[in-house]
Structure 1
Amino acid sequence: MRPSATTALVLAILVAVLSWASAYPVVRIALSGLAPVPLAAVRYAVASVLALGWLFWRKRVPAARDLPRFAACGFFGISLYNVLFNTGEQTVSAGAASLLISAAPLMAALLATLLLGERLTVWGWTGSLVSFGGVSLIAGGQSGGLSFGSGASIILGAALSAAIFTTLQKPLIVRYGALDATAVILLMGDLFLLPALPAGLREMQAASPTILAAVLVLGIFPAAIGYAAWGYVIGRMGAARAVGLLYLLPPTTLLLAFLLTAEVPSARTLLGGAVVMTGVVLMNTLGRARPAAAPVSATAAGR
């Protein structure tokens, strides 16, 4: 990789990690003035203005055959993820939420096992059980534990949504490039949130300057710039290699949450987070069986 390309990749990683890590405490700030779904709608309305400007400048229009995948990415990666995430963060601390979301790579690996026929080794299943134990530790320290509808269970739903999104977006990034694909995905996600936008705008009128600034930051950095930077990273490194970088999010979030909201994680949360990440590392290093060389099928050869 050329030095200039390496520098660009490192910068994209830093921007993505810092942008996404900042979302956890800043969402907590914004939720003090806006309800979860209206917050998501306003936040991505801001991001969509930037995305639309980018696509207009690029004169890029997605092919009709790709619209269903774009819509699915927008639904899972933007709309559903943020509605669940915002709802969960009403009762789950920013640090605990980031540690629960760190189970998303584990879920992505399990999805590949169930849907794509990938195999896990004994270490893979061991990693799954270890991570689940860590999730239980973290959730036990939150209101409602892991019961259905609790904040922790809702955050885990957001993690599953992120795992589905990661799996779906790779072909689009390959075909359109990271920035163009991300811009279309943001617009698609915003379409699903439009019904809640009027309520969000009404709540913004009564919000304090701090809340307004928090929403603006969320719309520009984690929503638009963060997703674009991550799309660039996925496009350059591939999803399998890039997913390991998500291990940087929890410690970065814990630091930013302390600096921005004076949040101090409990010992139980830290221990649970360490257990979760140990399981995820096991899953993504020793947990995957090496695929056997397969003969080229007639269908594949004909493409």
Structure 2
Amino acid sequence: MTQSRPTLLPALAIATTILVWATAFPAIKLALTELQPLPLASIRYAIAALLAVFWLIWTRPVRMPFRHLLLCAACGIVGGAGYSVLLNIGQQTVAAGAASFLIKTESLWMATLAVLLLKERFSPIAWGGTLLCIVGIGLIASAQAGGLTLNSGAAFVLAAALCSASGFTVQRHLVARYGALHVAAIMFIAAALALSPWLPLALTQTGNATTTVRIWIAFLGVFPTAIGLVCWAYALGRFGVARAGNFLYLIAPLAMLIAWMIAGEPPKTTTVMGGMLILAGVIIVNTRGKAATPQIQTMAEVPVTDPAKG
């Protein structure tokens, strides 16, 4: 029994991470039936920030220099609050399964940012993977309300993925120096403060919501953020970034299945086809393109980002 625990616990951690992050997308869809996008994001991060404060008081991590604290807060505002608000707006018209596939383009955005900002090189096969992602995005968007116009739901979800990728790109060295949990705690608090003007409305709408919606709101604040992040950090320590990151490709297909089961959203053929193209493109960029872009590492909704995400 003692020999199986080192293998069993990391496996349970990664399974929990995948399950709660996949469930976040249909949970958002259901919560949006009674809450507006901004109040939903506000109360979700208020819950996460409360847990983060307790964690900081309990663990008392080494204090960050002020410049790193500001950078961490900026990541929380862009990669946390911005991501959540844009995803919520997008999911008003985009199916949960489709949104989960579109969010996977955050890895593509991270690679693109590395090319533009860090002057890293993109191999020809990585550009081929990018083309697959673009075709997949087009297929999914074509089946959503508004297609891929500037104010369409799909465009908002893609903008959410860009916010997430921006936050992850900036926070990479902070996570390496201070740890994922410390960085995420600061990000949660910063995101909650940025969204605090909408918290009174969130409390009012939550008070008027049904019990089922309240449960989903609590789920979003606790599981995809706090519990999902703890399990993910533990799994990273046992599996390593590369191996653990491979499991994250299961999130989008599982989110589509869960959305079908609990939100009554049967997957469309175009969503399945487009989603497979996006996953194939992301895998190509993150593997075959790795020699040209060695610094890119796939992270999740935490996203904290939530990752996570939902």
Partners of 2:117 and 2:59 lie apart in 1 by 35
* CA separation of 1:131 and 1:99: change in aligned 2, threshold 3 A: same
Corresponding position of 1:206: 208
CA distance in 1, matches of 2:242, 2:168: 10
Aligned positions of 1:125-274 closer than 5 A? 125-233=127-235, 242-274=244-276
- AA aligned opposite 1:34: L
Q: Which residue of 1 aligns with 2:106?
A: 104
Which SS does the other structure have where 2:182 is aligned? Answer: helix
Separation in structure 1 between the aligned mates of residue 169 and residue 7 of structure 2, nearest angstrom: 25
Residue 95 of structure 2: aligned partner: 93
Partner of 1:24: 25
Equivalent residue number for residue 287 of structure 2? 285
Contact 2:130 2:281 in 1 (8 A): yes
Q: Report the counterpart of residue 305 of structure 2 in structure 1.
A: none
Which residue identity lines up with residue 72 of structure 2 in the other structure?
Answer: F
Tell me how far apart the structure 2 counterparts of residues 239 and 167 of structure 1 sit (CA, whole Å): 15
Distance 2:5 2:211 in 1: 40
Tell me: CA distance 1:153–1:290, structure 2 relative to 1, closer, same or farther (3 Å). Answer: closer
Out of 60, 75, 84, the residue aligned to residue 86 of structure 2 is 84
Describe the superposition over 1:156-193 as per-residue Cα deviations: whole angstroms up to 9, x where unpaired: 00111111122222222222222222222211111111
- Percent of aligned pairs with the same amino acid: 43
Instruction: Name the residue aligned to 1:12.
Output: 13
Partner of 2:123: 121
Task: Name the aligned partner's letter for residue 48 of structure 1.
Answer: A
Q: Deviations over 1:58-83 (max 9, x none)?
A: 12343323112211220122100000
- Give the equivalent residue in structure 2 for 1:48: 49
Q: Is the 8 A contact 2:49 2:192 kept in 1?
A: yes
Structure 1 unaligned runs (5+)? 293-303
Q: What letter is aligned with 2:24?
A: A
How far apart are the structure 2 equivalents of 1:230 and 1:107? 21
* Whole-Å separation in 2 of the counterparts to 1:183 and 1:59: 12
- 2:84 and 2:239 map into 1 onto residues whose CA distance is 25
Aligned length: 291
Moved more, 235-244 or 269-278: 235-244
| Counterparts of 1:269 and 1:150, CA distance in 2 | 16
SS in 1 for 2:102: helix
- The 2-side partners of 1:291 and 1:90 are apart by 35
- Counterpart of 2:177, as a letter, is R
Structure whose alpha-carbon radius of gyration is higher = 1
State the secondary structure of the residue aligned to 1:86. helix
Alignment of 1:54-69 (within 5 A): 54-60=55-61, 61-69=63-71
Task: Write the deviation string for residues 43-70 of structure 1: whole angstroms up to 9, x where unpaired.
Answer: 1111111111111111234332311221
Is contact 2:122-2:293 (8 Å) kept?
A: no
Report SS of the residue matched to 1:33: coil
Contact 1:170–1:234 at 8 Å: present in 2 too?
A: no
Gaps of 5+ in 2: 295-310
